Structure 1
Amino acid sequence: MQQNKLLRLHCHLSSTFIGNAVYTACQWGMLMVLAKFGSSAMVGQFALGIAITAPVFMLTNLQLRSVQITETKKQYCFSDYLGLRLISSTLALLVITIISILGGYRWETSIVIFLVGVAKGLESISDLFYGLIQQHKDTDLIVRSLIIKGLLSLTLLFVGVYSSGSILWGVIGLVFALAAVLLGYDIPNGIMMLKQALKVKPRWHLKSLIKLILLCLPLGLMSMLIALNTNIPRYFIAQYLGEQELGIFAAIAYLMVIGSMVVSALGESSIARLTKYYANQDVIAFRTLLLKLVRIAVLLGGIGVLMALVAGQQILTLLYQPEYAEQTNVFIWLMVAAGISYISSFLGYGMTATGQFFIQIPLFTTVVSISSIACVWLLPELGLVGAAIALSLAATVQAVMSCVVIHHSLHRLQSQTN
């Protein structure tokens, strides 16, 4: 019986990883399409749209899916979550519209930012239906949705860009793909899970909404800060260097995601054991496992830096265009930043396992501040290399502060046992 449970868990993790891997690969494919069949300025417009919309939606999404899955008292029904998500997504899109109009961008860039915001809003609603499906233990539906969504989004963006030569039609194709999957697959699956279409309708009960917002707001703030930390250099590049340079930076930086997927998979599979070791006051086992994860991060980062040093020019030419290959130094520094960020990510799982949640808000606030200061200091002088160095500095600060928090937690635990 136990062996069957482990086998089912292994199959579940494998299929989930495959679904996320395909979806992430398709998102990377969108950048490659824009680079190969468009221009670096198009990549920059798309990257700016993501950089502006991601933190806004991270805040307004409030990590409702996580709360929805883990909330055991059943105080809220799916209609409550859906009602709040529709309100928060509308608010997010309003904020993004204001930014796109008042941000001083070209009209085409403003429209791209708005359309990317619409796409994020559709994804946020799909995400809530994923939470509902996950509650009913049928994650294969989520995997299929991710694969369909990724492939259809990539295809329609390619058709739009290739046929028109404009990023606008590409992003319109992306919005259409996400809407089609939401309406044609995710919502019908949600109705199937609840057995009644009426239960999928949003509910706006003021008292329940306020309680849910207060419960989830710290999680939303933390998610926003994490997204800001990733995107801070992109704002400064757009301001100081322009959309074309931002496109080159964003395309190269996306190579960091390959290692991040491995880190995320290992972190998610290890956090239960880390939490168990901490709860059982087994400090040695906790440290041993966390150090193993850190060594894996160092190995992944080292491989990335080595590849950038040895074959950076060839890799960038193959994936994108020769103009990207001129930025090999940026590639090297981004791989350094990636390696350090992999370490800080594993340490983040360690912090979560020790129950240190609220300390992460001032921690990431500090990291975002350091990243901003570093960009102001380095970007005008060093350009894209300065942005990559700023990412490295921010990741280093995050890793050091995470170590301090974990060390304090373990020291306190040992004091209690002695």
Structure 2
Amino acid sequence: MRQLSLKKVKLADEQNFRKNFIWNMLGMTFNSFNSLFYMVIVTRINGTDEAGIFTLAFSVACLVFYIGTYAGRVYQVTDSNKIISTSDYVAHRLIAFAVLVIASITYSVIMGYSGQKLIVVLLLCLLKGLEALADVFYGILHKNDYLYKAGFSLTVKSLLSITAFFVIDLITHNIVLSISSMILIWGLMLFFYDIPSSYKIDKFDWNVRLKNIFFLFKDGFFVFLINFFSVYIVNAPKYAADGVLLNSSQAIFGIVLMPATLVSLAVQYLIQPYLKKMARYYEREEINNFNKIIMKLFFFTILFGVICLIGAYIFGIPILSLVYGINLTEYRIQLEIIILGAIFYSLSIILSAAMTTARYTFIQFVIYLLTSIVGFGVSNFLISIFKLDGAVLAYILIMLNQFILYILSYIYLNKTKKIFAKHL
């Protein structure tokens, strides 16, 4: 009887794991790919000028999103500190949301945005703010092994959002109304699904301790900076192009840059199944097996990258031109350079996963900080001289710089055996 009960429990755990995995993958995939669909819709319906405004605004919103999530869901879910309550996490996220709104308005004022550009930037920042706010309730579900509910919510939001955006933009040709419809969907789902679902599982109250709120801001600071800079360096050429390139040129750069996002996303999917093995080898201090995984991931990433380079050279431009309704024939070389940069970035992601497993976060913060400084300088310099081509060159130089810093750091940690020193 006892063995039968254990088998039932094991079977139930496996079924729950599959359900969590499938729904989470669906939600993350739909949410990640929506930016691609938005750009296609805006470019085809509203033209390249408004698409240029949209791609810049979306990049700004993705940056401030990490102000809203701060340390992020991983920190929340893996936290074993019983002192910090669920209420503390919710209150902390509400404060971060308020900071996100203030930061969005401040940035827009400093950049001198006005008219439609100002409205689009602020609305997309608000949309990403709601996503950041929902994430803390996803964290509650995740921590209590109800990840599938978070994945279901994200899937529904993503599908409803892209449908509403397309239909309203097709009818009105007004991206402000289209974005507003998405904000309404995310708001309704947050208040009528996310919050009630998490509250049923963990009945948090408003007994919040300020000491714990300050602790969360302090302890998650480097994680926040790493996430923040990781978004900045990918989009640094876009930010530098603001006010220098025409909106139509910014739209073209955003289109050519889009495949790079898909390459890095595919590599992240490749890494996920190996994370537990990496953690196990790290705990056992099996340095050879640990590095074999890194080399295997490097091999698959480079192989995948070469296939992408060949495929993009032959099919990339015709497909992008067909999808977006723009003649992009003269940008074949630029697309190849972008994908090459994405390969360097993907290799950096692998090394980052290895160093995060060994809990080396500060050195990664230094890498991202240096890369951000280089990215800021290189982007502004090259774009001012070479315009769109300068943005493309800046992208690959930024990614190459980050990869070099990561590979040198990883080699140093291995040679000195510090990768298995088990200290921060």
TM-score range, shorter chain: over 0.9
**Distance in 1 between the 2:69 and 2:28 partners?**
19
- 1:39 CA drift (Å): 1.4
Q: Does residue 53 of the first structure (1) align with residue 65 of the second (2)?
A: no
Candidates 67, 87, 104, aligned match of 1:79 = 87
Give deviations 1:29-84, integer Å, cap 9, x for gaps.
11111111111222222222222232233134222422221111221111111111
Q: Which residue of 2 aligns with 1:172?
A: 180
Deviation at 1:233, TM superposition (A): 0.6
Aligned residue pairs, count? 413
Check if 1:278 corresponds to 2:282: yes
Farther off after superposition, 46-55 or 223-232: 46-55
Write the deviation string for residues 204-227 of structure 1: whole angstroms up to 9, x where unpaired.
Answer: 432221112111112111111111
Q: What is the SS of the residue equivalent to 1:137?
A: coil
Mapped to 1, the partners of 2:352 and 2:300 lie a distance apart of: 15
Task: Name the SS of the counterpart of 1:44 in structure 2.
Answer: helix
Measure how far apart 1:414 and its partner are: 8.0
Alignment check: 8 A CA contact 2:71 2:220 kept? yes
Asked if structure 2 preserves the Cα contact closer than 8 Å seen for 1:84 and 1:204, the reply is no
Counterpart in the other structure of 1:88: 96
Aligned amino acid, residue 309 of structure 1? Y
Q: Which residue of 2 aligns with 1:295?
A: 299
Equivalent position of 1:224 in the other structure: 228
- 1:379 is aligned to 383
Shift in alpha-carbon separation, 1:298–1:30, aligned structure 2, 3 A:
same
Give the Cα separation in 1 of the matches to 2:72 and 2:368: 20
Partners of 1:351 and 1:405 within 8 A in 2: no
Task: Give the unaligned 5+ runs of structure 1.
Answer: none
Determine if contact 1:301/1:340 at 8 Å carries over to the other structure. Answer: no
Matching of residue 22 in structure 1 with residue 39 in structure 2:
no
Contact 2:68–2:132, Cα closer than 8 Å, also in 1: no
Runs of at least 5 residues in structure 2 that lack an aligned partner in the other structure? 1-6
Separation in structure 1 between the aligned mates of residue 48 and residue 190 of structure 2, nearest angstrom: 30
- Out of 310, 315, 322, which is 1:311 matched to? 315
Separation of aligned partners in 1, 2:19 and 2:190: 25
Amino acid at match of 1:87: I
User: Does 223-232 or 39-48 show the bigger shift?
Assistant: 39-48
Is the aligned partner of 1:110 residue 2:118? yes
Residues of 2 paired with 1:416 and 1:284: CA distance? 11
Alignment match of 1:238 (pick from 214, 220, 242): 242
SS in 2 for 1:239: coil
Letter paired with 1:28: L
**CA distance in structure 2 between the aligned counterparts of 1:3 and 1:78, rounded to whole angstroms:** 28
Once the two structures are TM-superposed, the CA of residue 126 in structure 1 deviates from its matched residue by 0.8
Shift of 1:383: 2.4
Which aligned runs of 4 or more in structure 1 are off by greater than 4 angstroms? Answer: 1-11, 201-204, 414-417
Shift of 1:317: 1.4
Residue type of the alignment partner of 1:78: T
Distance 1:357 1:415, change over 3 A: closer
What are the within-5 Å matches in structure 2 for residues 83-232 of structure 1?
83-194=91-202, 196=203, 199=204, 201-232=205-236
Alpha carbons of structure 1 residues 120 and 318: separation in structure 2 relative to 1, 3 Å: same
SS of corresponding position for 1:361: helix
Aligned match of 1:369:
373
Give the superposed CA RMSD. Answer: 2.2
Following the alignment from structure 1 to structure 2, what is the Cα–Cα distance between the partners of residues 55 and 6? 36
Distance 1:413 1:276, change over 3 A: farther
Could you tell me which of 303, 314, 324 is aligned with 1:320?
324
User: Per-residue CA shift, 1:298-331, capped at 9, x if unaligned?
Assistant: 1222122112211232111122122444433322
TM-score (norm 2): 0.91
Q: Does 1:337 align with 2:341?
A: yes
